[in-house]
């Protein structure tokens, strides 16, 4: 039965996309997907995504997937943990080029990470 429940849960998740390339263009963060489709995020739209990835960075590589919302929050897509690490690195570089600092570390996540070490 657990297998059937697992399959039902998986069916409800958004699709996994390949690696995403992130660029800065026209005052927006642009995600370019393997099929060349693009999503454009304003800084405000991207801040919560970046902050979440940044806070979970210690666990991203081992994660099965990360769920990312579209700019309008109407849909979502999944990326692998490895793709999430790469996306975070690209976004960090783009943000630093724009003079946007990393968010402060959330004490809850910092305490969790330290307790695991």
30 is a domain residue: no
Q: How far apart are CA 7 and CA 89, in angstroms?
A: 32
95-114 pLDDT, tens digit each: 999 999 888 765 654 454 45
Residue 106, domain member (yes or no): no
Structural contact between residues 25 and 39, judged by C-beta atoms closer than 8 angstroms:
no
Count of structural domains, the chain = 1
Question: 77 in a domain, yes or no?
Answer: yes
Decide if 48 is inside a domain: no
Whether 1 is in a domain gets the answer: no
Domain assignment of residue 70, yes or no: yes
More confident residue, 32 or 10: 32
Establish if 112 belongs to a structural domain: no
pLDDT in tens, 43-69: 999 999 999 999 898 899 888 899 999
pTM equals: 0.79
80: in domain: yes
Predicted local confidence at residue 16, as pLDDT: 85
How many Cβ atoms sit within 10 Å of the Cβ of residue 8? 9
In angstroms, the CA 49 to CA 89 distance is 13
């Amino acid at each position: 039965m657990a297998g059937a429940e697992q399959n039902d849960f998986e069916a409800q998740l958004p699709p996994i996309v390949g690696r995403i390339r992130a660029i800065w263009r026209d005052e927006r963060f642009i995600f370019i997907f393997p099929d060349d489709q693009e999503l454009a995020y304003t800084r405000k739209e991207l801040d919560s995504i970046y902050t979440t990835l940044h806070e979970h960075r210690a666990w991203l590589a081992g994660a099965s997937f990360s769920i990312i919302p579209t700019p309008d929050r109407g849909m979502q897509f999944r990326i692998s943990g490895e793709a999430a690490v790469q996306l975070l690195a690209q976004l960090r570089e783009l943000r630093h080029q724009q003079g946007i600092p990393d968010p402060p570390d959330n004490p809850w996540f910092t305490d969790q990470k330290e307790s695991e070490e």
